[in-house]
Amino acid sequence: MHFMKQYAVLFCCTGNICRSPTTEGLVMKKVADARLDRRKLIDSAGTHGYHIGEPADRRTQEAA
């Protein structure tokens, strides 16, 4: 039986409303397109709690 390795990736920026969620969205799309989404856990986080509970910036959502 062949076991596929699983990976976890965390993208971090200061507030988790622009850079890290954009990167998370782009990488999730690439991983899904490559049909590797079952093998990957992808998430984003911020190093400071400036924007707790806020969604990603509107421009970030549109771009990602």
Q: Is 19 a catalytic residue?
A: yes
Q: What is the CATH number of the domain that holds 34?
A: 3.40.50.2300
34-59: average pLDDT: 86
Structural domain range at position 42 = 7-63
Tell me the pLDDT of the chain averaged across its residues: 86
Q: Is 13 a catalytic residue?
A: yes
Looking at 13, 39, 58, 59, which residue is catalytic? 13
| Residue 18 forms part of a structural domain | yes
| Residue 46 forms part of a structural domain | yes
What per-residue confidence (pLDDT) applies to 64?
Answer: 67
Greater model confidence, 4 or 10: 10
CA pair distance 4, 39, nearest whole angstrom: 7
Looking at 12, 19, 35, 39, which residue is catalytic? 19
Total domains, the chain: 1
pLDDT at 3 over 80: no
Q: What is the pLDDT of residues 5-32, one digit of tens each?
A: 788 999 999 998 889 989 998 999 999 9
Which segments within the chain are labelled E, that is strand?
Answer: 7-13, 40-46
